Structure 1
Amino acid sequence: MKSEEILEVVVRAADDKLAENIVVMDVRGLTSIGDYFVVMNGRNERQMGAIAEGITQSVHKNKIPLKNQEGKDSGNWTLIDLSDVIVHIFSNDERSYYNLEKLWSDAPLVDISEWVTE
């Protein structure tokens, strides 16, 4: 499966679980660790867990290999590594603190409007 197809699966799953402020950065050419970073936040620890679970279930259903998952039990930040697509699920405070969007400001943003509900 192409990284763009994986990206769509991830964004749709996150949106289904009401993830907030989903941002996709195209980091191809900026780093060798992946093609896309997906950043989002949940309102609370329970919702963050539901978002992570929804993404991992969709990934499994679509036979996408999950390379690694970390931080699921921390309640502040979960990372889901799908090789070419790296997913970051933050609490509001942690997202502000790490500010990945600023750190990777050279990365173009991907238009995900057709994959999310308004």
Structure 2
Amino acid sequence: MTETKRLVETITKGIQEKKGSKIVVADLNGVDGAIANYFVICQGNSPTQIEAIAESIGETVRKELKEKPTHVVGLGLNQWVAIDFVDVMVHVFLPEMRTFYDLEHLWADAKLTHLPDLD
């Protein structure tokens, strides 16, 4: 498994630990103009949960892979938090913000993998 795929799996684990839902992994390899190899997109039900998911992602990646994001945007408002791990860009949305920006369809050429929600 590549380091990038391991990073995607670890990010996903961090999301699931805080009950983030509707996780989609967009494989942007080979997509012209893509700013990362993968997007990981998910949602939480409240600003508090968005913040908890974002913190869980950072903590899980730091503990398991000894990596830190290069940039985090949106904490404080907690409606859309973007976490940049260079090769992987994570987007944690409130449902209405996710619907509005519709990132899954913005990158129409990407291969999308929808992960089942955990109970």
TM-score (norm. length: structure 2): 0.89
Contact 2:13 2:60 (8 Å CA) reproduced: no
Moved more, 91-100 or 60-69: 60-69
| 1:103 alignment partner in structure 2 | 106
C-alpha distance in structure 2 between counterparts of 1:111 and 1:97, whole Å: 19
Equivalent residue in structure 2 for 1:88, among 91, 94, 107: 91
C-alpha distance in structure 2 between counterparts of 1:111 and 1:74, whole Å: 26
Q: Which amino acid aligns with 2:25?
A: V
C-alpha distance in structure 2 between counterparts of 1:69 and 1:109, whole Å: 23
Matched position secondary structure for 1:22: strand
How many residues align? The count is: 116
| 2:41 alignment partner in structure 1 | 39
Matched position secondary structure for 1:102: helix
* Cα deviation 1:50-85 (Å, max 9, x = unaligned): 000000101111212311101111221000000111
Extract unaligned runs of 5+ from structure 1.
none
Extract unaligned runs of 5+ from structure 2.
none
| 2:20 alignment partner in structure 1 | 19
- Shift of residue 7 of structure 1? 0.3
C-alpha distance in structure 2 between counterparts of 1:21 and 1:77, whole Å: 15
Contact 1:6 1:64 (8 Å CA) reproduced: no
Contact 2:19 2:118 (8 Å CA) reproduced: no
Equivalent residue in structure 2 for 1:77, among 58, 80, 87: 80
C-alpha distance in structure 2 between counterparts of 1:5 and 1:79, whole Å: 19
Percent same amino acid among aligned pairs?
34
Q: Which amino acid aligns with 2:110?
A: A
C-alpha distance in structure 1 between counterparts of 2:102 and 2:48, whole Å: 22
